[in-house]
Structure 1
Amino acid sequence: MSNVYEKLVALLDCEGAKYRVIEHPAEGRSDLVAAIRGTAPGQGAKAMLCRAKDDGRSLVLAILPGDKKLDFKMVAEAGGLKKATLASAEEAERETGCVIGAIPPFSFSPDIRLVVDPGLVENFDEIAFNAGRLDRSMVLNSADYVRIAQPLVKPLCV
């Protein structure tokens, strides 16, 4: 499987994004990795792969502030699904190429719809996220993130 971290660096460089890379001990929990990065917990882009409960095929990568909780009704509404549920760890890894906690806020698959909560990109000039690996983070300009990733911006939090 191709390296998601390398894909991210290539994409961001190609698009002229303002970002920096932080190497750190492997960590997947939002609160702990925020302390390591020196960023606010709400600045962290928590990526959660969700799937349709009825057909199980429709996928939504929900991106929310690291200090918030996901509302599955809002995910379903944003993704055009009847009901949404969290994908299994195995399914998330298979679909994104990343372990849980390392999934970046980008979709490299046409099968995964990308939705970001406005609280993440409107409240901070920069977002922070694990960049395809648990031991490497990126801090990326929020406007560059929206321009490059082109997510659907819809409320997703409880």
Structure 2
Amino acid sequence: MATSTPATKTLEKAGIAFELVQYDYAPGNDRVGLQAADAIGAPPGQVFKTLMVELDGKPVCAILPSDRELNMKKCAKALKGKSAAMMDPQKAERLTGYKVGGISPLGSRKRLPAALDASAKSYDTIFLNGGQRGLQVKLKPDDLIKLLGCQVEDLVR
């Protein structure tokens, strides 16, 4: 597996310390974040998933624990919108340049507004997708917040 992705290049260019963690991705699993947490031996709340959302018709990124569900109203409020809905997976792939199961909030084709669930701040480090299926990056939540300029709010049900 190649470990150089747009996500890892973005982290390197920004001078952010991170660790790569690889695992065997199982296609067909609809709970990729939970699969990743299990495979790498991390608590599901420490492994964050990236969801592509349309906020008032515009693309945004929500980053939340793999064992939780996104609350669309909270997401809309965090990103100062009125209405949020999940983005079509094919549209998300075209927009980010990543495949579903490997979408990262880092290094997408277009920089998007992002919101990170506040629970990330309870960990010294979190895991998130490194830009391909079976690849996680481990980094400090504050580094992610600074790099993305993301809102930090309660996003989950």
The interval holding the TM-score normalised by the smaller chain is 0.7 to 0.9
Q: TM-score scaled by structure 2?
A: 0.85
Matches within 5 A, 1:68-83: 68-83=68-83
After TM superposition, give the deviation of residue 77 of structure 1 in Å.
1.3
The separation in 2 between residues aligned to 1:141 and 1:37, in whole angstroms, is 17
The separation in 2 between residues aligned to 1:19 and 1:147, in whole angstroms, is 14
Equivalence for 1:39: 42
Q: TM-score scaled by structure 1?
A: 0.85
1:65-116 per-position Cα deviation (integer Å, ceiling 9, x unaligned): 1111100011111222221110011111011111222111336424x21111
1:32-81 per-position Cα deviation (integer Å, ceiling 9, x unaligned): 110111211001111111103xx52x111011111111000111112222
Gap runs ≥5 in structure 2:
none
Amino acid in structure 1 at the alignment position of 2:39:
I
After TM superposition, give the deviation of residue 150 of structure 1 in Å.
1.9
Give me the CA root mean square deviation: 2.1
Matches within 5 A, 1:1-158: 5-27=4-26, 29-52=32-55, 56=57, 58-106=58-106, 108=108, 109-110=110-111, 112-120=112-120, 122-158=121-157
Query: Matched residue of 1:26: which SS?
Result: coil
Give the conservation status (yes or no) of the 8 Å contact 2:9–2:107.
no
1:112-155 per-position Cα deviation (integer Å, ceiling 9, x unaligned): 211111112x1111111221111211111222222222211122
The separation in 2 between residues aligned to 1:42 and 1:74, in whole angstroms, is 18
Give the conservation status (yes or no) of the 8 Å contact 2:116–2:152.
yes
Give the conservation status (yes or no) of the 8 Å contact 2:127–2:139.
yes
Amino acid in structure 2 at the alignment position of 1:15:
A
After TM superposition, give the deviation of residue 4 of structure 1 in Å.
10
Query: Matched residue of 2:5: which SS?
Result: helix
Give the conservation status (yes or no) of the 8 Å contact 1:5–1:133.
no
Q: Which runs of 4+ in 1 moved over 3 A?
A: none
- CA 1:97–1:80: 2 relative to 1, 3 Å: same
Q: Percent identity over the alignment?
A: 26
